[in-house]
Each structure stands twice: as structure tokens, then as C-alpha cells.
């Protein structure tokens, strides 16, 4: 290790004394001014992780749907997954070491994680459109360089694009080319293959209005224009040329406020969707003729995917195990519909993409979505091989055709992480192939009335949960109080959990009417104090 160089560079990216931050569900997130040292150190950590795994590691500079003034950073593991939990601890340790302890901390991590400091290291970097992102990614580069790592800076990319690049690189091109062109070509080819039959039968062009949250999604959709399937006519709104990132728009805003974003004029029954600030989430919506707003969230996207994939799997006649993974926030009506009507097993896990992704890996076809619109589908290697072989060799026409559709779905879906652009194309393809309107999709089931509140408490960590965050084990007595409140209402449930990204406790309630859901959430929030 170049000790003098490390001293010099860490002085350029000094840690504010006493500041401690934690690598949480979404990596590090904070006000951008507080993150220089974090970025420098995460560049270093990526080098160590690369040496430990012998693979390329990703570093993404973004704070997703958070305000423009914030920023954040996440590491991407070799196959495009989130950083392994065992390394989150090292990330936190390195982030919080005082400047003079930096070298010692790196040595300690290398010992604990058996990192050979002599090995080569390679890191891919990406960033979102925040004004602070460029400079912060420069600090990441400094961190990589000081430990002797190689890097490739992709500059402005969506979070899922960076995940894709890392996966392509580490699978020697099996997943695709690690370039933006490779990504656009892979998606547009699979999409066109999927819908070409419907088009020859005279299907009209699809129209879609997209709110890009004034973020990276707009840039990437513009870049994709030459590749973009002509079958879908898109109109981009909130492209970042006029307004601030995520301000009164984007997937998170639309989901939380259950209303259309600013800057998108919506006529009755027009199809619309919103990306979030780094384009890893998507929600759909429309306004009916009476002017009522209808949100189609991650739960309904998971339902659409499930129906479609289940039908195809039945057609190819293979016993492939399919399941849906949700979190406690999934609307109870979606869970019931999936289990009873679609008849697919549903599993509930803790909030955070890594938990959903991990669980979905247990199945041949694992569909996961958070209600907030982050999700994707994972196909096991065995399932993928079977499907590709059937698509090529199966004698029975109907079976072979179904296998081909599945094969194109595999190529269209970004299996590394939720991806707004890819999910949008999957949705548009399914709606086209099934001849469904947004209204028909929305009508599959009706959400139970629900309410999500946040409560400020002295110390949110006193609340500990179990059963995928659906029950509180501490403080003593809290769960009993919630149980008693839930009993007062029909068709109700409620839970509390400490947020992993804000200093608040979240309270969620469902009940038979909106008034009751509101009342239950309110009463539970009083029990939390
Ligand atoms: C992060 C998670 C998201 C989760 C949210 C919950 C990732 C990439 N993102 O944004 O999946 O829904 O946190 O936030 O895992 P909360 O803990 O504050 O409720
Ligand atoms: Zn995001």
C-alpha cells in the first residue's frame, strides 16, 4: 500500500470529525456535502472486494428518489447483485474510521476478509444526474487508484445499467455486451421478437407517457431512440431540462401521494408511467373518464408478470417451480389474488431489494416486486437452459412457440436488479400479447384500503421485528397493543418497522374502509411513542 499517497489523498477527501454513517438497505445516503470521504473510501473498498472475489465490482453514485441535494453510493457484487451482507459491515467500518486510522482499517479488513493485496482489481463506476455526482465519482476514482485498482467510468447511467455491465463483464459476455449499445440492442431485439406476431395481425401502435423524475431515465431513453422499438410510441416528460430531480414527480412521489406527477398532462384513459431518479423503479397509472386517478403499483406489475409467465410455463409443459416474493407492504388484496386466483405461492421477506432478490433465487422462476415498483424476475440457470433448448428443438409447435416467448422474456428482463426501462418493455409486451388495456389490468383486483405513516421517535432502534417485519418483538408490549387495535377493525392488519433509510418508524395499516385504515394507522402510531 502506498502509505504516503494514502495520507495525501485522504487529506483531499477528509472525513468530518465525529460523523458516522451506516451502509444501510440502499448503501450510504446523506447530504451530498457529507459524502466526499465516503466516496473515496468506497472506491478503496471496491478494490478490496474485487481482489477478494477475483471479479469486477461496481460502484454506483446515486441517491435514487431522494431530493437532489442528497447523494449516495452502493457497491455492486460480481453477478450484478447488491453487495454481500458480510461486506456491509466492512463498508461501515471503513467509512467511519478517522483519517489517521485509515491505513490500519484497510489492513484489518484485508486480514478479516482474506484479501490478497497483490491481486489485480477492476471496478466499474456509474453515476446519476445530480449536480454533485460528477465530483463524488471523482473521489471514488481517487480511492480506486490509491489502492492500485483499474477502473472503467461509465459516467451517466441508470443504476440497473451499471448492474448489467458488471454482470456482463464477469460472465464473459454470456449475459450480454458490457456496453450501453449492447444493453439497448439486447432489449430492443428481445422486445421486437416478442411482439412481432401481434403486429402482423394489425395491432395498433402503443402510446405511453413517461415521467422520468427529471433524472437519468430521460437521457437514457433519448439515447435509446435509434434502438427503441417503433411499436411503442413514447412521450417523455420531466426530462430534467427545466425542473429539479424528483421534485413533485417520479415513481416514489406518485406512489406515496397517489397522484399524478407535476409536469405530465394526462387525458382520460391514457397510459402513463413514472421512473424514479435512478430508473430502477416504475409505476403505471391512468385517469378514468370521471377524473379519478388509478395507480398500478409494483404489486400489480408482479401480478401481470405472474399470470403471463404461469400461462407460458403451463404451455411448455415443464414442471418449473415459480413463486412470487413480496414484502409486508404488499397490498393484502394482491397477495390473496396471487394465491387464490393465479394460484402461485407467495413469500414475504424483509424490506430491501437484496432480501427479495435472495429469496427469488430459490425458484426456477422467481418474481419479486416491492409495492413501490422495484422488481424483476429471476430464472434459474437450469430453467433458462431448458427453455432455450425447447425453443430450438421442441417438435410440438405450440410448445416451441411458448418456449420462444419465454426465451425472449429472459432476454428482455434485467435479471440483475429492478430496471424501469426493462420492466416497462416487459409490461408493454405482455399487454400487447394479451391484448389488455391498462384499465383491464387494473381491474384484476381492487386494493384493500391502506395507510402508510411515519412517526418520529427518540430511538427507532428500540423496535425490533420478526416474521418479515410483520411483528414487533421489542419494545415489550407493543405487539400486544397492535394486536388489540387490529381486532377492532374488519379485514385489517398493521405493522411497524424502523426505516432503514430515514430516522423514522413506519406504520402500515389495512382495513375494510379508507376511514378505518386511516384510524388504525393513527392508533398504532400512538402506540409506538
Ligand atoms: C431502499 C431500498 C428499497 C426499500 C426502501 C425502504 C434498495 C435498493 N432500496 O430504498 O428497496 O423499499 O429502502 O426504505 O434496496 P425504508 O427502510 O426507509 O422504509
Ligand atoms: Zn431508485
Cβ–ligand 1 contact at 499 (below 6 Å): yes
> Out of 15-29, 136-150, 400-414, which region has the weakest mean confidence (pLDDT)?
15-29
- Is the pLDDT at 203 greater than 80, yes or no? no
Residue 502 pLDDT grade (very low, low, confident, very high; cuts 50, 70, 90)? confident
**529 in Cβ contact with 477 (< 8 Å):** no
- Is the pLDDT at 87 greater than 60, yes or no? yes
- Is the pLDDT at 521 greater than 70, yes or no? yes
Residue 524 pLDDT grade (very low, low, confident, very high; cuts 50, 70, 90)? very high
Segment 136-146 shows an average pLDDT of 98
Cβ–ligand 1 contact at 370 (below 6 Å): yes
The pLDDT score that the predictor gives to residue 243 is 96
Q: Report pLDDT digits (tens) over 294-348.
A: 999 999 999 999 999 999 999 999 889 999 999 999 999 999 999 999 999 999 9
d(CA 115, CA 171): 22
**C-alpha cell at position 221:** 431513453
CATH fold for domain 298-417: Alpha-D-Glucose-1,6-Bisphosphate; Chain A, domain 3 (3.40.120)
Residues of the chain with CATH 3.40.120.10: 3-156
Residue 205 pLDDT grade (very low, low, confident, very high; cuts 50, 70, 90)? confident
d(CA 33, CA 66): 15
Q: Which residues are catalytic?
A: 64
Out of 29, 351, 420, 508, give the residue to mutate to test ligand 1, the one with the largest number of ligand atoms within 8 Å of its CB.
351
State the ligand closest to the CA atom of 283. 2
Alpha-carbon torsion 155, 238, 304, 297, what sign? positive
Cβ–ligand 1 contact at 374 (below 6 Å): yes
Percent of the chain scoring above 70 in pLDDT: 99
Residue 200 pLDDT grade (very low, low, confident, very high; cuts 50, 70, 90)? low
Residue 3 pLDDT grade (very low, low, confident, very high; cuts 50, 70, 90)? confident
Cβ–ligand 1 contact at 452 (below 6 Å): no
> Out of 14-28, 33-47, 174-188, 382-396, which region has the weakest mean confidence (pLDDT)?
14-28
- Is the pLDDT at 279 greater than 80, yes or no? yes
Residues with CB under 5 A from ligand 2 (ion): 64, 276, 278, 280
Strands (E), 129-281: 150-156, 206-211, 232-237, 272-275
Segment 58-69 shows an average pLDDT of 97
Cβ–ligand 1 contact at 96 (below 6 Å): no
The pLDDT score that the predictor gives to residue 262 is 97
The pLDDT score that the predictor gives to residue 141 is 98
Angle between helices 420-434 and 298-316 (to 10 degrees): 60
Out of 62, 280, 500, 505, give the residue to mutate to test ligand 1, the one with the largest number of ligand atoms within 8 Å of its CB.
500
Percent of the chain scoring above 90 in pLDDT: 92
Residues of the chain with CATH 3.30.310.50: 450-528
The pLDDT score that the predictor gives to residue 359 is 98
The pLDDT score that the predictor gives to residue 204 is 61
Instruction: State in Å: Cα 128 to ligand 1 middle.
Output: 18
Out of 26, 82, 83, 498, give the residue to mutate to test ligand 1, the one with the largest number of ligand atoms within 8 Å of its CB.
26
**461 in Cβ contact with 500 (< 8 Å):** no
d(CA 211, CA 234): 10
Cβ–ligand 1 contact at 453 (below 6 Å): no
d(CA 297, CA 305): 13
Who has greater pLDDT, 295 or 229?
295
The pLDDT score that the predictor gives to residue 231 is 82
Task: Report helix, strand or coil for 286.
Answer: strand
- Is the pLDDT at 529 greater than 60, yes or no? yes
Q: What is the DSSP string of 58-106?
A: EEEE--TTS-TTEEEEEEE-TTSPBPPHHHHHHHHHHHHS-GGGHHHHH
Q: Name the nearest CA neighbour of 505 among 478, 476, 477, 467.
A: 478
Q: Report pLDDT digits (tens) over 234-275.
A: 999 999 999 999 999 999 999 999 999 999 999 999 999 999
- Is the pLDDT at 202 greater than 60, yes or no? no
Average predicted confidence (pLDDT) for the chain: 96
In 212-297, alpha helices (H): 216-223, 251-257
**141 in Cβ contact with 125 (< 8 Å):** yes
Candidate CATH numbers 3.40.50, 3.40.120, 3.30.1490, 3.30.70; the one for domain 182-294: 3.40.120
**Sequence-separated (6 or more) residues with CB below 8 Å from residue 353:** 25, 82, 370, 374, 417, 418
The pLDDT score that the predictor gives to residue 199 is 66
d(CA 470, CA 361): 22
Cβ–ligand 1 contact at 355 (below 6 Å): no
**C-alpha cell at position 17:** 470529525
Residue 429 pLDDT grade (very low, low, confident, very high; cuts 50, 70, 90)? very high
> Which ligand 1 atom is the nearest neighbour of the CA of 500?
17
CATH H superfamily, domain 3-156: Alpha-D-Glucose-1,6-Bisphosphate, subunit A, domain 3 (3.40.120.10)
- Is the pLDDT at 201 greater than 80, yes or no? no
Segment 382-410 shows an average pLDDT of 97
Q: What is the CATH number of domain 450-528?
A: 3.30.310.50
Amino acid at each position: 500500500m502506498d502509505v504516503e499517497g494514502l495520507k495525501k489523498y485522504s487529506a483531499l477527501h477528509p472525513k468530518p470529525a465525529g460523523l458516522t454513517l451506516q451502509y444501510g438497505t440502499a448503501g450510504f445516503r446523506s447530504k451530498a456535502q457529507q459524502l466526499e470521504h465516503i466516496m473515496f473510501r468506497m472506491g478503496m473498498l471496491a478494490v478490496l472486494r474485487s481482489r477478494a472475489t477475483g471479479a469486477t465490482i461496481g460502484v454506483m453514485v446515486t441517491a435514487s428518489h431522494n431530493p437532489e441535494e442528497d447523494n449516495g453510493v452502493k457497491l455492486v457484487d460480481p453477478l450484478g447483485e447488491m453487495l454481500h451482507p458480510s461486506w456491509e459491515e466492512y463498508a461501515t467500518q471503513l467509512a467511519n474510521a478517522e483519517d489517521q486510522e485509515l491505513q490500519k482499517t484497510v489492513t484489518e479488513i484485508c486480514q478479516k476478509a482474506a484479501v490478497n493485496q497483490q491481486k489485480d482489481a477492476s471496478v466499474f463506476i456509474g453515476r446519476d444526474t445530480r449536480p454533485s455526482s460528477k465530483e463524488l465519482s471523482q473521489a471514488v476514482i481517487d480511492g480506486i487508484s490509491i489502492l492500485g485498482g483499474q477502473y472503467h467510468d461509465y459516467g451517466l447511467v441508470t443504476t440497473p445499467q451499471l448492474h448489467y455491465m458488471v454482470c456482463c463483464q464477469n460472465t464473459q459476455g454470456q449475459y450480454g455486451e458490457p456496453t450501453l449499445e449492447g444493453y439497448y440492442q439486447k432489449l430492443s431485439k428481445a422486445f421486437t421478437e416478442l411482439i412481432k406476431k401481434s403486429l402482423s395481425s394489425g395491432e395498433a401502435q402503443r402510446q405511453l407517457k413517461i415521467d422520468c423524475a427529471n433524472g437519468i431515465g430521460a437521457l437514457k431513453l433519448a439515447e435509446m431512440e435509434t434502438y427503441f422499438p417503433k411499436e411503442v410510441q413514447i412521450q417523455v416528460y420531466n426530462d430534467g431540462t427545466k425542473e429539479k430531480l424528483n421534485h413533485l414527480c417520479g415513481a416514489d412521489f406518485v406512489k406515496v401521494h397517489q397522484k399524478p406527477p407535476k409536469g405530465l398532462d394526462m387525458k382520460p384513459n391514457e397510459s402513463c408511467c413514472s421512473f424514479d431518479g435512478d430508473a430502477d423503479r416504475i409505476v403505471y397509472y391512468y385517469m378514468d373518464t370521471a377524473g379519478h386517478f388509478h395507480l398500478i403499483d409494483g404489486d400489480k406489475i408482479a401480478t401481470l408478470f405472474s399470470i403471463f409467465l404461469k400461462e407460458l410455463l403451463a404451455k411448455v409443459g415443464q414442471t418449473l417451480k415459480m413463486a412470487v416474493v413480496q414484502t409486508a407492504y404488499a397490498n393484502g388484496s394482491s397477495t390473496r389474488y396471487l394465491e387464490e386466483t393465479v394460484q402461485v405461492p407467495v413469500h414475504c421477506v424483509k424490506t430491501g431489494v437484496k432480501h427479495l432478490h435472495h429469496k427469488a433465487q430459490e425458484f426456477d422462476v422467481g418474481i419479486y416486486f416491492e409495492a413501490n415498483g422495484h422488481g424483476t424476475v429471476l430464472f434459474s440457470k437450469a430453467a433458462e437452459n431448458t427453455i432455450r433448448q425447447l425453443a430450438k428443438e421442441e417438435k410440438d409447435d405450440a410448445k416451441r412457440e411458448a418456449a420462444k416467448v419465454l426465451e425472449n422474456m429472459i432476454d428482455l428482463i434485467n435479471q440483475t436488479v429492478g430496471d424501469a426501462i426493462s420492466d416497462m418493455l416487459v409490461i408493454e409486451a405482455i399487454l400487447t400479447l394479451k391484448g389488455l388495456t391498462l384499465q383491464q389490468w387494473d381491474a384484476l383486483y381492487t386494493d384493500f384500503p391502506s395507510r402508510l405513516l411515519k412517526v418520529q421517535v427518540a430511538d427507532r432502534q428500540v423496535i425490533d421485528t420478526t416474521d418479515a417485519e410483520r411483528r414487533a418483538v421489542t419494545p415489550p408490549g407493543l405487539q400486544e397493543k397492535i394486536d388489540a387495535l387490529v381486532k377492532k377493525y374488519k379485514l385489517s392488519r398493521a405493522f411497524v418497522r424502523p426505516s432503514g433509510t430515514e430516522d423514522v418508524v413506519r406504520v402500515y395499516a389495512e382495513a375494510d374502509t379508507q376511514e378505518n385504515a386511516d384510524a388504525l394507522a393513527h392508533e398504532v402510531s400512538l402506540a409506538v411513542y
